[in-house]
Amino acid sequence: MSSKPTISFGSDHGGLALRRDLIEALRAKGYSVLDRGTNTTESCDYPDYAHAVGADITSGQAALGILICTTGIGISIAANKMPGIRAALVQNPDAAALSRRHNNANVLCFGAKYVDLPLALTCTDAFLTAEFEGGRHSRRVDKLESCG
């Protein structure tokens, strides 16, 4: 990658600590970050943060997004409801890289219950350095965009 993309972050209360730690680590690596919250440990609704991050991506304010909730399931479902968003819930760096290479994923999702900071950093690095391969994968991604 020649320049580092702007990354939009969001989480509910279950992903707050991991989100803050990831933001700090990526800022230290020179990434620009948009932090869409939450900023409290009080119960809140993950779709609000998925929509905020998705809006950043579809508007062009951010190239990529990272979303976190307790399991990663709810926030990835919410993100994938948005046109133009391809969110991948991952728990290992191979899946993170393949989500970009084969699915042109633009949002990386984590479950804070299952992914600690070192693993999240490794997965994030794999996601950010992978590039979409196109070819036969383009046909499939185009079909995803025509769903719904």
69 is catalytic: yes
Among 102, 109, 137, 147, the one annotated catalytic: 102
Cβ–Cβ under 8 Å, residues 82 and 50: yes
Q: In the structure, how many helices (H) and strands (E) does the chain have?
A: 6, 5
Cβ–Cβ under 8 Å, residues 55 and 27: no
Among 69, 109, 137, 147, the one annotated catalytic: 69
102 is catalytic: yes
Q: What is the identity of the amino acid at 32?
A: S
Give dist(CA 101, CA 117) in Å, integer: 23
- Contacts with 89 (C-beta within 8 Å, 6 or more apart), sequence order: 72, 73, 76, 109, 110, 111
User: What residues act catalytically?
Assistant: 69, 102
